[in-house]
């Protein structure tokens, strides 16, 4: 078997405030292979989004570590982790996270420009065409529908051909039909790019479309 693209190794997360210590995640341990798709499923407050932030190196575990393509994220400083994210990770969020003062084309160009890629404009335009928005290149987010904004977000995530895509409730703010369309597109793009996909959702039907389901309850990973 090849090296996992991501390995979450006995990760726990605790936070302390005036009321005491709260354990958000308890000894989470799993790995995913290249091209694998997995859904992290659980009720609101179960720790799903915290786990996703730890997998991205955006938050630091109390115990354990995360390895991305063999690299221990928490052996790196914050700047080095940011470089790894720019190089290896794509993100899709429920709230789209597009920059309001940039056009669709400029939003998709941004990760390419940050990575110093050549032909950023051409690559971004090609990716927007792939998601069906070739007529929307110069439109700003405020004039795009929710489904169109999420398609821009998908184009931005996939344009750098990431090793790992992290999607946090990507259809949560869309109506059913639009959400289905966006999910179909995300899975198509994922197969084309050969990316490992981690999808956080509370929707069991959506989760069933992934190869694996990881169930979290009260911060614990339940047996399969």
First and final C-alpha spacing in the chain: 20
Strand 220-221 and strand 196-201: the pairing is unpaired
Confidence of residue 1 (pLDDT cuts 50, 70, 90): low
The structure tokens listed for 78 are 């914050």
The structure tokens listed for 182 are 């966006």
CATH tag, 36-57+75-211: 3.40.50.300
pLDDT > 90: percent of the chain: 67
Residue 190 has pLDDT above 90, yes or no: no
Q: Which of 8-12, 49-53, 94-98 has the lowest mean pLDDT?
A: 94-98
Provide the whole-model pTM.
0.88
pLDDT digits (tens, 9 = 90+) for 114-161: 888 889 999 999 999 999 999 999 999 999 999 999 999 999 999 989
Q: Which of 80-84, 133-137, 201-205, 211-215 has the lowest mean pLDDT?
A: 201-205
Query: What are the residue boundaries of the structural domains of the chain, listed by start?
Result: 36-57+75-211
Please give the full DSSP string across 11-74, using - where no structure is assigned. Answer: EEEEEEETTEEEEEEEEEEEEE-TT-EEEEE--TTSSHHHHHHHHTTSS--SEEEEEETTEEGG
């Amino acid at each position: 078997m090849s090296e996992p693209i991501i390995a979450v190794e006995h990760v726990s997360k605790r936070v302390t405030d005036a009321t005491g210590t709260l354990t958000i995640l308890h000894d989470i341990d799993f790995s995913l292979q290249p091209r694998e798709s997995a859904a992290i499923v659980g009720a609101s407050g179960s720790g799903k989004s915290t786990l996703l932030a730890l997998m991205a190196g955006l938050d630091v575990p109390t115990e354990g570590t995360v390895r991305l393509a063999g690299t221990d994220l928490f052996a790196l400083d914050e700047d080095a982790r940011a470089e790894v994210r720019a190089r290896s990770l794509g993100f899709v969020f429920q709230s789209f996270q597009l920059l309001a003062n940039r056009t669709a084309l400029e939003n998709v160009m941004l990760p390419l420009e940050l990575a110093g890629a050549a032909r950023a404009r051409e690559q971004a335009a090609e990716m927007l065409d792939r998601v069906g928005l070739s007529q929307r290149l110069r439109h700003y987010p405020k004039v795009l529908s929710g489904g169109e904004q999420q398609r821009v977000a998908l184009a931005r995530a996939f344009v750098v051909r990431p090793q790992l895509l992290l999607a946090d409730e990507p259809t949560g703010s869309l109506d059913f039909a639009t959400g289905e369309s966006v999910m179909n597109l995300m899975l198509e793009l994922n197969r084309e790019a050969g990316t490992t996909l981690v999808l956080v959702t509370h929707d069991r039907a959506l989760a069933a479309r992934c190869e694996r389901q990881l169930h979290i309850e009260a911060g614990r990973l339940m047996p399969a």
